[in-house]
Amino acid sequence: MANGFSADGLALLSRTLTGYADRGEVAGLVAMIHRDGELAQVDTAGWRDREARQPMRRDALFRMASMTKPVTAVAALQLVEQGRIGLSDPVDRWLPELADRKVMRDPLGAPEDVVPASRPITLEDLLTYRFGLGWGRSALAPQLFSLTADPVASALGIPAESSDPDAWMRRLGELPLIAQPGELWRYHTASDVLGVLIGRITGQPFEKVLAERIFEPLGMVDTGFVVPESDRERLTVLYSRAGEVLDHPDATAWAQRPRFVSGGAGLISTVDDYARFARMILGRGELDGTRILTGDTVDAMARDRLTPAQHADPPFNPPMGQTMWEEQGFGYGVQVRTRQDGIGPGVGAVSWPGGFGTWWIADPRHDLVALLFVQSSNMIMGGDWQIPLGEDFLSLTYRALRD
């Protein structure tokens, strides 16, 4: 029994994961588990390029999509620790486009029917996705979705938002808020705003801030917003759930730096790299002697901030994400487990998936980090896996624990 796992239990997990690739339910996958600070298991199965019959490999590059968001949140919290901005500080000073907001009386009503904002937007509003704009149920949903930046927009097959950060912020600033600051949780847009905010506070390109303050200190050597030509062979083909090719290494939208570097969805990484980020979170801000955040800040990041009314409000239209807050809450850029039923993640475990098929969890109660990467768009929607693969991975991992 290694790292508190049953050998038979881990073998069953491997067979189950391999079965999904063998049956063609996914093109390929990489899975990794760390326990008690040590690597417990790595699985690879299937193909990184199904048509060319190129096998999946441990160092394959995946499009992180929304798994970019927790990284962006960490960079913002570093600025709080440095005294550059406070959690309760209005962001108007750096983001004048968001000053003096008008707010729709009804999120589903007429955008012209507005009242003044009751207070300015704060950093905490952005970190908790409650600043008043975002993907989900509202009359402005199409306009907000149209602000999706390349290369993610190209992979989703929607018209690309190719503005630079300043032009992007001007477009966002033309919209009223759908709710008063702090009132409603809505998805994605806040992380893109955070990326702009981080760049303006530091006076550096957003991607340089992440590289210098997170990736390089943690040894995340394969994480960034561009795939160099020399690494293109490791990039997985991105498929739709129906098996259509959405992004191919030979003509990838990640070949060059986008004009607007998305804090909400733009990163490329590997399972080993992102495991280092997740292990840092598990270590309350520290990994292998390198401190990224203080323990108190990570504790605050992993505390549910949603009100009872926000827990009861599905942010998306049915059937997507209607139960996402029943056992989960939301902290600063991460989902937080608020209830444990039976075998599974403990209360306080943090996670957030990516819409191109990537998922991770850091569970302090079980001293566990687990990651599962596939390369299928919309395999995860509204925080939920659309096939049993995710639940099988989670349940079999925890069932294999023996201490």
Cα(372)–Cα(49) distance, integer angstroms = 18
Q: How many CB atoms lie within 10 A of CB 303?
A: 15
In order of 27, 76, 166, 206, 362, the CA distances from 83 in angstroms are 46, 11, 24, 18, 27
Q: Tokens 């690309």: give the residue.
A: 160
Rounded to whole angstroms, how far apart are CA atoms 333 and 198? Answer: 14
Q: Which of 77-81, 286-290, 377-381 has the lowest mean pLDDT?
A: 377-381
- DSSP code of residue 214: I
Cβ–Cβ under 8 Å, residues 155 and 356? yes
Cα distances from 152 to residues 99, 126, 146, 242, 327, in angstroms, run 28, 21, 12, 18, 29
The pLDDT tens digits of the residues spanning 238-261 come to: 999 999 999 999 999 999 999 999
Residues 6+ apart with CB under 8 A from 110: 104, 139
For residue 161, what pLDDT is reported? 62
pTM for the structure as a whole: 0.97
Of residues 108, 297, 73, the one with CA closest to residue 184: 108
Output phi, psi for 281, to 5 deg: -60, -45
Domains for the chain: give ranges and CATH numbers.
Answer: 7-68+207-399 (3.40.710.10), 74-202 (3.40.710.10)
Tell me what pLDDT residue 163 has: 85
- Interval 16-40 mean pLDDT: 97
What is the SS3 assignment for 31? strand
Average confidence (pLDDT) over 202-229:
98
- SS3 of residue 287 by DSSP: strand
pLDDT at res. 403: 83
SS3 226: coil
pLDDT digit string (tens) for 42-71? 999 999 999 999 999 999 999 999 999 999
Q: How far is CA 29 from the centre of its chain?
A: 18
Report the pLDDT averaged over residues 262-285.
98
Helix (H, G, I), strand (E, B) or coil at 89: coil
In sequence order, which residues have a C-beta less than 8 Å from that of residue 242 and are 6 or more positions away?
none
Express each pLDDT in 73-95 by its tens digit: 999 999 999 999 999 999 999 99
pLDDT surpasses 80 at 1? no
The chain-wide mean pLDDT, for the chain, equals 96
Per-residue pLDDT reduced to its tens digit, 158-215: 887 668 999 999 999 999 999 999 999 999 999 999 999 999 999 999 999 999 999 9
